[in-house]
Amino acid sequence: MLLNYFYPVCHDFLTRHNGGCDSAYWANWDTCNMRAIIAIGVFCDDRAKFDEAVEYFKHGRGTGSITNAANFHFEGGLVQWQESGRDYAHVMGGQGLLFEMCQIAWNQGLDLFSYDNNRLLGAAEHTAQYTLWKGVPYNYYNNCDNANQFYISGNYHGRLAASHFELVYNHYIVRQGLKAPNVKLLADLRRPEPGEIDVLGYGTLTYTLDAKASPLPSQAPPTPREVTATAGLQRVELRWSPSGAYSAHGYEVSRATNSSGPFTSIYSTKIWTTPNYVDTAVKAGVTYYYIIAALNNAGKSAPSAVVSAVAAKSEALPPASRGVSAKGTLYCESVAGSSFVVPASGRDVDGSFAGQPVEGDFCVTARLADWQGSVGMMGLTVRESNVKKPRVLAVTLGELGGRLARFRVRADGRTTVQRGCDYTWLPVWFRIQRVGDEFTAYQSSDGIEWFKIGQSTVALPRSVLAGLLASTGGTPPGRKATDSAKGIFDHVTIERQPPTPPAAPDALTATTLDDGVVRLDWKNATGTLQAGVKIEASLDGAPFYEIADLTADATRFENTGIERPSALRYRICSYNTGGYSVHSNVAQCEK
């Protein structure tokens, strides 16, 4: 059966890719077929099939071969995975399959693990670092289908449902003595490693080489710090900073309506390192109090300091928006900026509108935070007013499971479409800028770094309508068709032009405190518009990576769980929707 039925299908896929171009299929498609062929070769004692899989690993045309799967090598040894701009469930699955293939080859006396200077380890380290919620470098990726992956994916970011890191840890670190600090941390978090859907797993049982080198966690993680609660319409968004020990495999969020409690758990997870949570079960005008605890297999941390937020009440629409915005549109002005909930109607670019008249050159920006119900296209639009079939420009998210970012222009009896990211996940930022009759569309994952996805010249009147678009259509994954269709937007601005990046913070100092805490202090620049401050660290001289994202007024940060304070260097920068400042001075604790 393996030789006559399974092998021909696997071989045909790797040679023909279902008649498509070689890069049309993602790495996990190739790697599952590669692993199957090498296993068939071993089980059936067929050297030709074993060699076929090995040759494809080294030189195959498709995305599963090592230089195509691990396709960008960075200073310091990190290597980007081919699906990093798609989602991290598939990144984990594809890598796990390839590592299992390497293990099969190793058992036969062939070392694929070290091929191309341990390239596959660099990919695992990149993935582990990102999953632990540290920043990583990323290069734009595209394939023959023009998938356009401008930035690293936030989908499944932080999910620990991957069971191949014990294999990676034991081979490279325990057996070979190589350094891969993030792989080690991730293996520690998963121990004892369970089974998973993509790979066999149970790596603590099957791959442990030295029990002393693979201990179970002995203490609970440090208490979460820098917890913030930001109220918006129908939501309170919680954020906090992960500990520098990176020893939490999840968090528990508890809520009360009194600052002294009692607190009730409203969310708990053991497989997500994600340091944020959105509470949507809120009532307008009610003050909610929150505490966060970090979790691992050794227990639960002490709770964080209490933070609070008053769930926003809707207000009357701004005068300029009245009369042109869809009936039932909700609005408020809060810490999250101008926020709108727009009821969806109509189809495509003829959906509901919420905005205002604008004259001359301008820039409209917003974050699409969420959507509900059966939605079609949601995003930003610029259109003629008081016209039955107006000329329209729109940058939207929707279609094909709600993941396609597109810039559409309907003018002069035809519609043109320019492509943004094919795998765009919520939340997402959009921007349309007008200069004369030239309109440029952008998208961003964070509202800081912007990527141009389209440009068009359209002769529109000087006065147009600019704002938000919400149309109906299919039901995206995770949403209910029975819910009222609507789009939830925040950070909505209409300006003459994007802001300039803020000035850099300065006077950064690092001080070692007790219990493995490093305290950073700095001064923010005066007279500058900034939306936040990001902290970066460098361990043992490696390239800097982001470790925390703080509020605009932050002037202190405590990095907890640090075993070797003098091995870390720090720098910071501020940001707004115009981009990043330059970096501050570098600070380091004395030895």
Positive or negative: CA dihedral 268, 274, 279, 285 = positive
The β-bridge relationship of strands 79-81 and 225-232 is unpaired
Pairwise CA distance, residues 248 & 264, whole Å: 21
**Among the listed residues 342, 337, 347, 287, the one whose alpha carbon sits nearest the alpha carbon of residue 311:** 287
Give 389-392's long-range contacts (Cβ < 8 A, gap of 24+). 391/458, 391/460, 392/349, 392/350
Q: Is the dihedral of CA 143, 146, 150, 151 positive or negative?
A: negative
State the Cα–Cα distance between residues 22 and 207, nearest whole angstrom. Answer: 34
CA 574 to chain centroid, in Å, comes to 20
Measured CA to CA in angstroms, residue 381 lies from 360, 394, 459 at distances of 16, 4, 15
Task: Retrieve residue 584's tokens.
Answer: 């501050």
DSSP 8-state class, residue 243? P
Alpha-carbon span 234 to 313, nearest angstrom? 8
Among residues 501, 498, 463, 465, which one has the least CA distance to residue 363?
498
| Residues 6 or more apart whose Cβ sits within 8 Å of residue 272 | 158, 159, 160, 250, 251
CATH top-level class for 319-495? mainly beta
pLDDT by residue for the chain (591 residues), tens only, comes to: 999 999 999 999 999 999 999 999 999 999 999 999 999 999 999 999 999 999 999 999 999 999 999 999 999 999 999 999 999 999 999 999 999 999 999 999 999 999 999 999 999 999 999 999 999 999 999 999 999 999 999 999 999 988 999 999 999 999 999 999 999 999 999 999 999 888 889 999 999 999 999 999 889 999 999 999 999 999 999 999 999 999 999 999 999 999 999 999 999 999 999 999 999 999 999 999 999 999 999 999 999 999 999 999 999 999 999 999 999 999 999 877 899 999 999 999 999 999 999 999 999 999 999 999 999 999 999 999 988 889 999 999 998 888 999 999 999 889 999 999 999 999 999 999 999 999 999 999 999 999 999 999 999 999 999 999 999 998 888 899 999 999 999 999 999 999 999 999 999 999 999 888 999 999 999 988 899 999 999 999 999 999 999 999 999 999 999 999 999 999 999 999 999 999 999 999 986
- Look up the CATH superfamily of 506-588: Immunoglobulins (2.60.40.10)
DSSP single-letter state for residue 566:
G
Tokens at residue 534, please?
């990001």
CA distance readout (Å), 528 to 304, 437, 501, 585: 31, 31, 9, 18
d(CA 113, CA 408): 46
CA-wise closest residue to 97 among 156, 19, 163, 4? 163
Structure token digits, residue 472 = 């109906």
pLDDT for residue 591 = 67
Taking CA 257 as the corner, what is the angle to CA 255 and CA 260, rounded to the nearest 5 degrees? Answer: 85
* Span 225-310 CATH architecture: Sandwich (2.60)
Q: Rounded to the nearest 5°, which phi and psi values hold at 122?
A: -60, -35
Is residue 380 within 8 A of residue 487, CB to CB? The reply is: no
Residues of the chain with CATH 2.60.40.10: 225-310, 506-588
Report strand pairing: 568-576 vs 362-372.
Answer: unpaired
Alpha-carbon gap, residue 40 to 85, rounded angstroms: 32
To which H or E segment does residue 533 belong?
strand 532-539
Which residue ranges does the chain devote to CATH 2.60.120.200? 319-495
- What are the two backbone dihedrals, phi and then psi, of residue 55, each rounded to the nearest 5 degrees? -65, -40
358 neighbors 463 (Cβ within 8 angstroms): yes
pLDDT of amino acid 388? 84
Strands (E), 159-279: 225-232, 235-241, 250-256, 264-268, 276-279
Structure confidence at residue 514 (pLDDT): 85
Tell me if 99 sits within 8 A of 120, measured CB to CB: yes
β-pair partners for 469: 353, 379
Q: Give the span between the Cα atoms of 488 and 465, in whole angstroms.
A: 19
DSSP 88-121: HHHHHHHHHHHHHHHHHHHHTT---TTHHHHHHH
